[in-house]
Amino acid sequence: MKYDTEIADDFTIRIPLKMLQVTEQDGKTWPVAFYWPDADGVDAQISIDKIISVSPLAEQKSGTVGDRYECEINGLIEYIYYTKLTPRKWFKIVPVSEQEYNAYYKLPGEGRG
């Protein structure tokens, strides 16, 4: 999971995650591992080494309300999000190039390139 540091924060997309999680009896949910495509495009299981903090957060671009999990994954600090609205989903925000951003969010009739 390497990100190009030249990519501006303005160009990020939400990537849904297939998550392995533990849900306690009181409803608290903890991520354990998720699947992420490797260099060959095959989903590899990525373990979450440690959950550092959990905080309520609204994701600004989409207006999603949920929790942000600050995690240590392979020695790096990463953020994973869990929506509180139905349907509840896990996702990661990933920086991309402007071209990838435009292709991802292109809607019919928008006229984006």
pLDDT of 98 > 80? The answer is: yes
Q: Tell me, what's the pLDDT at 55? A: 92
Q: What are phi and psi of 11, to 5 degrees?
A: -110, 85
d(CA 85, CA 59): 12
Specify the pTM: 0.75
Residue 39: pLDDT band (50, 70, 90) is: confident
Q: Is 70 left (phi over 0), alpha (psi -120 to 50) or beta?
A: beta
Beta-carbon contacts of residue 30 (< 8 Å; ≥ 6 apart):
21, 22, 23, 24, 51
Q: Where are the domains of the chain?
A: 12-104
DSSP 88: P
Asked if 72 and 53 touch (Cβ cutoff 8 Å), the reply is no
* pLDDT reading at 69 higher than 80: yes
Higher pLDDT, 84 or 70: 70
pLDDT at 25 over 90: yes
